[in-house]
């Protein structure tokens, strides 16, 4: 059974973190460049957020502003070098239903 996507409330900042590894050695690497593309329900969100290099080889994050609203959000981090791209998605809701 597939794990459901994480859910967040619109307007919150969602941090997406990745560690980029060499596909041959599995060790963390810092590629020449890392770019991020964000879409909400298939529409590109601009401007794209900055990608931050965290301490440690290959550790990066991007803070995604979800104020554009509810929907299915997709975040793709592309790298220059031997590593593969990383992709994740999450759901943004206008609010959460009251617990019963």
Strand duo 43-44 + 13-19: pairing: unpaired
Mean pLDDT estimate for the chain:
87
Residue 63 lies in a domain: yes
Domain boundaries, position 50: 7-93
pLDDT value at residue 93: 93
Q: Which of 57, 62, 75 is nearest to 21 (CA)?
A: 57
Residue 2 lies in a domain: no
Residue 40 lies in a domain: yes
pLDDT value at residue 90: 94
Residue 19 lies in a domain: yes
pLDDT value at residue 54: 87
Residue 86 lies in a domain: yes
Task: Provide the percentage of residues in the chain whose pLDDT is more than 70.
Answer: 93
Residue 4 pLDDT level (bands cut at 50, 70, 90): confident
Residue 89 lies in a domain: yes
Residue 48 lies in a domain: yes
For the chain, what is the domain count? 1
**What is the CATH number for 39?**
2.60.40.10
């Amino acid at each position: 059974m597939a794990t459901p996507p994480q859910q967040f409330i619109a307007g919150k900042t969602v941090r997406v973190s990745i560690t980029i590894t060499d596909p041959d050695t599995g060790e963390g690497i810092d590629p020449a460049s890392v770019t991020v593309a964000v879409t909400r329900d298939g529409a590109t969100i601009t401007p794209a957020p900055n990608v931050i290099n965290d301490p440690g080889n290959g550790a990066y994050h991007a803070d995604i502003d979800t104020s554009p609203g509810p929907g299915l959000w997709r975040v793709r981090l592309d790298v220059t070098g031997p590593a593969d791209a990383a992709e994740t998605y999450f759901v943004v809701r206008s609010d959460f239903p009251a617990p019963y």
